[in-house]
A and B are shown apart, each in its own frame.
Chain A
Amino acid sequence: MMLDDFMTRAALAGIGVACAAAPLGSFVVWRRMAYFGDATAHAAILGVALSLALQISIFAGAVAVALAMALTVTVLTGRGYAMDTLLGVLAHSALAFGLVAVSFLSGIRIDLMAYLFGDILAVSRGDLAVIWGGAVLVVALIGWRWSALLTSTLSPDLAHASGIDPRREQLILTLALAITVAVAIKVVGVLLIAAMLIIPAAAARPLSRTPEQMALFGAVIGAVSAVAGLHSAYLLDTPAGPSIVCVAAIFFALTSFVRGLRA
């Protein structure tokens, strides 16, 4: 069967993450939440450590800590803390505490690099099911709330006037972000998740005239980057996660160049 091949499983995992990351990443770009996404992802390493210590699923632990992190930031910014300071404090503390916590788990031999930079070539059938399950959930969630999310992104007051509660939409986006972070750990690792969110969406921007096009082109660019990145990692013997991000970055440079020519 085709899933027996680890390269096929890796490619499918990458495509799954790209499909979830593009629509979500578009909102991250539009709402200027790039650093917020980064912080949520960094916090997930603490979730990984906790899952290993408590022997629960890594996915569940990462979702829980990423969500807790995102909610804490949202609540505290509402109380007048500066967003960037707050993210700097919480994200890096969570990362540091996570790394320290992992070092206490001496009983288990853990390849920390696998969580920091991903281990897409080791994706199992079970991982694949989790990744695609999470991706479908995220796409369904964002698709369901698409118009409401877009309206709240444009203007919270316009949303209110249309009977939409922008805080609820923000919460939905936060939940989608936590799920995406958790499923992407295996593929690109916590340090490069934000790249998979932002780079394909940003690369799609010059090609798009509507928000829907940007999400769609972003998914295509992300999926092609995943497959091409894996292929080059295989040929050049380079780490797979970073190779995927490199290809996406090249797409970004190309579309920016094309836009530069048109203008």
Chain B
Amino acid sequence: MSLVSVQNISVGYGATKVLRGVSLEIDPGEILTVVGPNGSGKTTLLRALIGAVTPASGRIERGAGLRIGYVPQKLHIDPTLPMTVSRFLRLPGGATPTQIAAALDRAGVPDLSNRQMSGLSGGQMQRILLARALIGQPNLLLLDEATQGLDQPGSAAFYRQIEEVRAATGCAVVMISHELHVVMSASDRVICLNGHVCCEGTPEIVSAAPEYQALFGTGTGGALALYRHDHDHSHDATCGHDHAHDDSTTKAAE
């Protein structure tokens, strides 16, 4: 029984059709990556999954007991809004301090709970957003270009964190990305999207598919291997360098 079943949906904004006849199933515990060029409807697909847009046709069936954890592409917090990390994590459900500590731990940022949200670095912010998504103990984690703005070791570290989360909690993960070489090797299944589903399958199958190569070229097949030898390079988002950098940007912002 799949967690979510998307059946032949079409979504449009005004006259433009962004998605045409898209169908997919999300199974418990799998890591599914959606790749596609800009404007291919990746984010729209994710927004349809969380219910932010209603498909013009087709249907989305959500399994009983589905709990979605959503990690947005980025979160801009207005500097006029004071918000500590722990207060943010209590939105809107009202998590207990124990749950907050556990989620921060799992996201790899145990020491940030008293920091102001507006003073976080990009990497820290992504991990806090991940921690917040984990608080409701989701069985489906949705990530929208979650590593935008992170450097390559930073995003590789972030994806390793996602794999650890999946291993520890058994939740399914749906990721959207254009960082194909990094993301695809972490996936069980890849869907190549360009308004419709071009091709799908294991990372190896998709990267060899002519539809995929027509969209992205052939160069990424070699880059796929890069990530696999990258595991021992550690670059933690909470290192001392980031802190120093944060403080100065916070002051500048104020």
A→B interface (CB under 8 Å): 29-32, 147-148, 150-151, 153-164, 202, 205, 208-214, 259, 263
A154 touching B77 by the CB < 8 A rule? yes
Given contacts A151-B91, A151-B92, contact A161 B68 (CB under 8 A): yes
Tell which of B68, B91, B116, B251 touches A209, judged by Cβ atoms closer than 8 Å. B116
Give me 27 A-to-B residue pairs in the complex whose CB atoms sit less than 8 angstroms apart, sorted by A's number: A30-B80, A30-B81, A32-B78, A147-B93, A147-B94, A150-B92, A153-B81, A154-B75, A154-B77, A154-B88, A155-B75, A157-B52, A157-B70, A157-B72, A158-B70, A159-B92, A160-B47, A160-B50, A160-B52, A161-B52, A161-B69, A163-B51, A164-B92, A205-B80, A210-B87, A211-B87, A259-B254
Kindly state whether residue B83 has any CB partner on chain A within 8 Å.
yes
Q: Do A158 and B78 contact each other (CB < 8 Å), given the known contacts A147-B91, A150-B91, A263-B254?
A: no
- Residues of B near A202 (CB, < 8 A) are 80
B143 to A: closest C-beta gap in Å: 12
A32, A208, A263: the one contacting B82 at CB < 8 Å is A208
Chain A residue at minimal CB-CB distance from B250: A263
The CA-CA distance from A164 to B70 in the complex, in Å, is: 13
For A208, what are the chain B residues with a Cβ–Cβ distance below 8 Å?
A: 82
Q: A residues within 8 A CB of B254? A: 259, 263
Q: Which residue of B lies closest to A32 (CB)?
A: B78
Chain B, residues 41-55, CB within 8 Å of chain A (1/0): the string is: 000000100111000
Q: How far is the CB of B76 from chain A (nearest CB, A)?
A: 8
Of all A-B residue pairs in the complex, the 6 with the closest CB atoms, nearest first, are: A161-B70, A147-B92, A160-B52, A161-B50, A208-B82, A151-B92
Q: How far is the CB of A229 from chain B (nearest CB, A)?
A: 24
Query: For the complex, is B171 an interface residue (Cβ under 8 Å from A)?
Result: no
A163 to B91, CA, bound (A): 12
State in angstroms the CA–CA spacing of A153 and B84 once bound together. 15
Q: Chain B interface (Cβ within 8 Å of chain A)?
A: 47, 50-52, 68-70, 72, 75, 77-78, 80-84, 87-88, 91-94, 116, 142, 251, 254
Nearest CB of chain A from residue B37's CB, rounded to whole Å: 22
Query: In the complex, what residue of chain B is closest to A151 when comparing beta carbons?
Result: B92
Contact A210 B72 (CB under 8 A): no
Partner of A158, one of B72, B80, B84: B72
User: B142: nearest residue on chain A (CB-CB)?
Assistant: A161
Determine whether the beta carbon of B91 is less than 8 Å from that of A154: yes
Given contacts A150-B92, A210-B84, 13 further A-B contacts (CB under 8 A): A154-B81, A157-B47, A157-B52, A157-B72, A158-B72, A159-B92, A160-B50, A161-B52, A162-B93, A163-B51, A210-B83, A211-B87, A213-B82
Task: Report whether B92 and A209 are in contact in the complex, using a CB–CB cutoff of 8 Å.
Answer: no
Q: A161 — nearest CB in chain B belongs to which residue?
A: B70
CB-CB under 8 A from B82, the residues of chain A are 205, 208-211, 213-214
Q: Determine how close the nearest CB of chain A comes to the CB of B156; give it in whole angstroms.
A: 26
- Write the nearest CB–CB distance from A159 to chain B, whole angstroms: 8
Given known A-B contacts A154-B91, A158-B75, A211 and B51 have beta carbons under 8 A apart: no
Candidates A29, A162, A213, A259; contact of B92 at CB < 8 Å:
A162
Q: Which chain B residue has the least Cβ–Cβ distance from A260?
A: B254
Chain A residues closer than 8 Å to B91, beta-carbon distance: 147, 150-151, 154
Closest CB in chain A relative to B53 CB, distance in Å: 9
* Nearest A-chain residue to B68, judged by Cβ: A161
CB distance from B131 to the nearest CB of A (A): 13
Cβ contact within 8 Å between A155 and B72:
yes
Measured CB to CB, the nearest residue on chain A to B93 is A162
Q: Which residue of B lies closest to A201 (CB)?
A: B80
Contact: A263 with B251, CB < 8 Å?
Answer: yes
Residue of A nearest to B78 (CB): A30
Residues of chain B within 8 A of A163, CB atoms compared:
51
Complex: A147 Cα to B95 Cα, angstroms: 12
- Which of A151, A153, A160 neighbours the largest number of chain B CB atoms within 10 Å of its CB? A160
Chain B residue with minimal CB distance to A204?
B82
Shortest beta-carbon distance from B20 to chain A in Å: 22
- Name the distance in Å between A260's Cβ and chain B's nearest Cβ: 9
Residue of A nearest to B53 (CB): A160
Chain B nearest CB, measured from A210 CB (Å): 5
